[in-house]
Amino acid sequence: MGVAACQMALAHSGLSDPASRNPERSGIVYGSDYILTRPEEFADGVAACFDSHKVFDIKRWPTEGRIKVNPLWLLKYLPNMPASHVAIYNDLRGPSNSVTIREASSSSSIAEAVATIRRGASDVMLAGATGSRLEPLRALHFSVSETLARDRSDPSEMSRPFDADRDGSVLGEGAGALVLESLEHAVARGAKIWGEVVAGVGSAVGHRFDGKDRDFIRLATHNVLSGLIAKATSLGMDLTADDWHIHACGKGEVDSDRSEAMGIHDSLGDERIPVTAAKSYFGNLGAGSAAVEIVASCLALEHQKLFPILNCNRLDAGCSIRVTDSDRPGNAFASLSYSSQGQASGVLVRRVLSA
């Protein structure tokens, strides 16, 4: 999915032909979920270590078991493989990097790609992330480590960010990719510019401090959003309530949604900025979530129509935010993401009306 998303982004941008870009000045920063190793990789090796009584003998592993395992097995599971495959296939010889911080991966990848261009190391960068939570072993892991939504007669109603009746997240998979360029490079080739990445901010907040529990999602969300607002202010951007929207992480988890909403309120005070959450449509895509969500918000800016949060029929009283209904998206948006480990990231993107 990650490779496919990157190829689609290159084709959509008009840069799929290697002759259209300088390979030495083209690179990639692409995020990925952790990829679980399949037990089948070791099946032959384990089988070779059983004794005549069908008991596994670990002492036989170095000489009889290990040699049955494909020496390159790990390459299929390294989280930098999506970026590697894309770079090799498209002859991207510029800066290359990978980010693996769960849902915070996409925005962090975009922020790093933008920084790479701004420091003059590249003209064109692919950025985004890919993720899957549907592989059976991984899905089992999430079923015991996170709160998942209960079954409903209509599965499309299961993902309910910020709704009073939400009961957990929905497992999904997906990937997104964006082509990022310096303004000069984009204008010179007559590219369609979907938006300008104004700022990227990251934060990491542990759930315990000095031996005491703390609301780390609220703190991490506040750190990211307030950082984006501060950057916009320093650039002279006037972010009034009607001029932008917030694309929340919105996983649909009871406590996490409430914490994220409080973090947003802490940053905005009583300003009623419209908030949307695309996970209501497709669930949690892991690392790939924010990349797809950022594309969705860019499309909202383009068409000047903001999509509502699906299934948010009655806002949770503990979520002091303005859930969008039929608001216009404004000319900018902040995308927010966080992981259940307290890693958070966000980007601020504004519409480019003329270049």
93-139 per-position pLDDT tens digit: 999 999 999 999 999 999 999 999 999 999 999 999 999 999 888 89
Residue with tokens 């693996």: 100
pLDDT confidence tier of residue 170, bands split at 50, 70 and 90: very high
Domain annotation covers residue 355: no
Per-residue model confidence (pLDDT) at position 229: 96
Q: Are residues 204 and 72 in the same domain?
A: no
Domain annotation covers residue 325: yes
Q: Are residues 140 and 245 in the same domain?
A: yes
**In this predicted model, which residue has the larger pLDDT, 111 or 355?**
111
Q: Are residues 49 and 160 in the same domain?
A: no
Q: Are residues 64 and 211 in the same domain?
A: no
Domain annotation covers residue 96: yes
Tell me the mean pLDDT in the region 227-244: 91
Tell me the mean pLDDT in the region 133-155: 92
Q: Are residues 137 and 69 in the same domain?
A: no
Residue with tokens 């918000």: 297
- How is residue 124 written in tokens? 């064109």
Q: Are residues 71 and 130 in the same domain?
A: no
Residue 241 CA, chain-centre distance (Å), reads 25
Distance CA 252, CA 186 (A): 38
Q: Are residues 60 and 102 in the same domain?
A: no
Q: Are residues 19 and 66 in the same domain?
A: no
Distance CA 322, CA 238 (A): 19
Q: Are residues 127 and 82 in the same domain?
A: yes
Q: Are residues 58 and 94 in the same domain?
A: no
Nearest to 175 by CA among 130, 124, 117: 130
Q: Are residues 135 and 181 in the same domain?
A: yes
Taking the model in full, what pTM does it have?
Answer: 0.93
Tell me the mean pLDDT in the region 273-296: 97
Domain annotation covers residue 68: yes
Which one of 22, 54, 76 terminates a domain? 76
Q: How many angstroms separate the first and last alpha carbons of the chain? A: 32
- In order of 32, 43, 59, 76, 211, the CA distances from 40 in angstroms are 22, 5, 21, 13, 41
**pLDDT exceeds 70 at position 164:** yes
Per-residue model confidence (pLDDT) at position 208: 87
Print the domain residue range for 58: 39-76
Per-residue model confidence (pLDDT) at position 239: 86
CATH code, domain carrying 160: 3.40.47.10
Distance CA 339, CA 243 (A): 28
User: For the chain, what is the domain count?
Assistant: 2
Mean pLDDT of the chain: 95
- In order of 102, 123, 208, 223, 310, the CA distances from 286 in angstroms are 6, 29, 24, 21, 19
Per-residue model confidence (pLDDT) at position 355: 61
pLDDT by residue (tens digit) across 37-82? 888 999 999 999 999 999 999 999 999 999 999 999 988 889 999 9
Nearest to 131 by CA among 343, 286, 3: 286
Which one of 56, 76, 96 terminates a domain? 76
Q: Are residues 176 and 271 in the same domain?
A: yes
Which one of 76, 102, 125 terminates a domain? 76
Distance CA 353, CA 120 (A): 25
